[in-house]
Amino acid sequence: MHLPSLSALRSFEAAAKHQSFTRAAEELRVTQSAISRMVRELEAAVGVALFRPAGRGVSLTEAGRNLAGPLHNDLERLRQTMQNASAAGDGMRTLSVGVLPTFGSRWLAPRLARFRASHPDIEFALHSRPEPFDMAHDGIDLAIHFGRKEWVDGTLTELCLEDLVVVASPVMSERFGIKAPVDLKDMPRLHLQTRANAWEVYFDSLGLPTGMARRGTLFDQFSTMIAAAIHGLGAAIVPTYLIEAELAQGTLVDLGQPQCPGDVYYVVTPKGVANPDAAQFRDWMIAEARSSTRKRALRRQAGR
């Protein structure tokens, strides 16, 4: 089969996304007639209609819907391939990493310069991936996963155990006279949507009434909750790996360690794929995590 032009494929992708030739033209900065012409070229190539009129726009036919999803994925892989080639340049290699957004910005990104210093021939393409995905399909060499040791077609290596800590700003700690964990009962509390019972479990371990434990401000991202804690909105239960800088600088203070067990972070590589660069980066991250654990243990001993 003769392949249609890339322009025709991109025009169809944009028109399918917006259900409008006009908006597709605006996105691609071409005329509406150009979009219409490219779509006709694609329809001639596949031999079926891909759109039908719908009010002031268009809607996909069944054939159009069957094409739109796979084509979008194919074009995304092509874009990623081109971005990797551009980022790498002559003599460079690119490592594509799928990373949990907050873990990536607060733990991994501050450390990348150290890895690059000893591996100057490796460039990175970082992609936010909050959930497991098909690594081979997406062209990702290595990923960070949190939770159960489950990933279809992925080999998981433990990176670090989650280490939870209760924190607040120094101003809030002083205002509420926090001398011991039980004093937290009167402080405003910040909650993460996916761990809505964290404070309830902690209060129960302290022998405090749990009825009021869930009161407070709710967040759907650690990063936003951490920022709120820094600015004095309340106390939060957070993994120490995400607030290393704040604890070291004193913008957040340690108010106690919940006894509830945290979960595990894993490094994931595609099963059956040998990639020396990914293996080097995995081993380096594990060494960094172990170093962080040792430093944290020393700080806690010093604080006793």
Contact between 278 and 95 under an 8 Å Cβ cutoff? The reply is yes
- Assigned domain for 286 exists: yes
Task: For residues 142 and 285, state if they share a domain.
Answer: yes
Task: For residues 110 and 144, state if they share a domain.
Answer: yes
**Could you tell me the residue range of the domain that residue 39 belongs to?**
6-83
Per-residue pLDDT tens digits for 213-224: 888 999 998 999
pLDDT at 158: 94
- Give the length of the chain: 304
pLDDT at 112: 94
Task: Look at residues 83, 102, 132 and tell me which one is the last residue of a structural domain.
Answer: 83
Task: Look at residues 49, 83, 117 and tell me which one is the last residue of a structural domain.
Answer: 83
Task: Look at residues 83, 104, 130 and tell me which one is the last residue of a structural domain.
Answer: 83
**Choice between 80 and 14, residue whose per-residue pLDDT is larger:** 14
Separation of alpha carbons 264 and 170, rounded Å: 29
Task: For residues 99 and 243, state if they share a domain.
Answer: no
Indicate if the pLDDT at residue 238 is higher than 90.
yes
Question: CA distances (Å), 1 to each of 6, 61, 176, in order?
Answer: 15, 22, 73
Separation of alpha carbons 18 and 126, rounded Å: 27
Task: For residues 170 and 242, state if they share a domain.
Answer: yes
Separation of alpha carbons 24 and 9, rounded Å: 12
For 99-106, what is the mean pLDDT?
91
Task: For residues 244 and 170, state if they share a domain.
Answer: yes
Task: For residues 117 and 174, state if they share a domain.
Answer: no
Percentage of the chain beyond pLDDT 90 is 51
- Assigned domain for 289 exists: yes
Task: For residues 184 and 103, state if they share a domain.
Answer: no
Separation of alpha carbons 94 and 176, rounded Å: 50
Q: Any residues with CB less than 8 A from the CB of 70 and at least 6 apart, and which?
A: none
Question: Which residues does residue 123 pair with via DSSP β-bridges, in sequence order?
Answer: 94
Q: Any residues with CB less than 8 A from the CB of 96 and at least 6 apart, and which?
A: 80, 84, 124, 125, 127, 139, 140, 141, 142
Within its chain, how far is the Cα of 297 from the centroid? Answer: 27
Q: Say which CATH number the domain at 208 has.
A: 3.40.190.10
Q: Say which CATH number the domain at 15 has.
A: 1.10.10.10
Backbone angles phi, psi at 170, to 5 degrees: -60, -35
Backbone angles phi, psi at 57, to 5 degrees: -130, -145
For 205-231, what is the mean pLDDT?
91
Separation of alpha carbons 97 and 142, rounded Å: 5
Per-residue pLDDT tens digits for 109-152: 999 999 999 999 898 989 988 888 888 878 899 999 998 888 98
Any alpha helices (H) in the chain, and if so which ranges?
6-18, 21-28, 32-46, 62-88, 101-103, 112-118, 135-138, 170-175, 198-206, 222-230, 244-249, 276-303
Report how far apart the first and last C-alpha atoms of the chain are (Å, whole number): 73
- Assigned domain for 1 exists: no
Q: Residue 30: how many CA atoms within 13 Å on its side-chain side?
A: 17
Domain count, the chain: 3
> 0.75 cut: is pTM over it?
no
Confidence label for 5 from pLDDT (cuts 50, 70 and 90): confident
**Span of 158-172, 190-204, 254-268 with lowest mean pLDDT:** 254-268
